[in-house]
Amino acid sequence: MELMSKVCKSEEMNFERLAARIFVAGGGVFWIAAVLGMDLGYRDKGVFGAAQTALIPLAIAAGALAIGWFYENLAAAVLLGGTVGTVVWGIASGWEGGVWWVMTGVLIGPMAIAALLFFLAARMQRICELRA
């Protein structure tokens, strides 16, 4: 396996970009739906109040996607920072095991994978530019 090779593989680079963007967009859709469901189901907010609250994850996901579209290394750093921040939040809040499992599956893991994919795509872009 040539994970860190210096060979330009544009198809692999494009797949990494696409997969990272899908992770970010999919995560955004999940969290928007989760916030809407929480507000409508548990907090008895109206549709407009719930939609206002759902604008927060929408803005975060759109911002991460926009940054990742043009600045892949910055997006990787922001996503890794979010991953570390989530872990620190969990430690500070004293999450139980079940919460750790859920948050690892829906937040920590996808952010770390998207960050790695953005980093690998940016690295391959540099390799392809140097080889051209």
pLDDT tens for each residue of 61-72: 999 999 999 999
Give the list of residues 6+ apart from residue 19 with CB closer than 8 angstroms, or none. Answer: 117
pLDDT at 87: 97
Mean pLDDT (the chain, rounded): 91
CB neighbours of residue 82 within 10 Å = 18
pTM of structure: 0.84
**Res. 8 pLDDT band, cuts 50 70 90:** confident
Domains of the chain, by residue range, sit at 12-131
Mean pLDDT on 15-22: 94
* pLDDT more than 70, % of the chain: 95
pLDDT at 5: 66
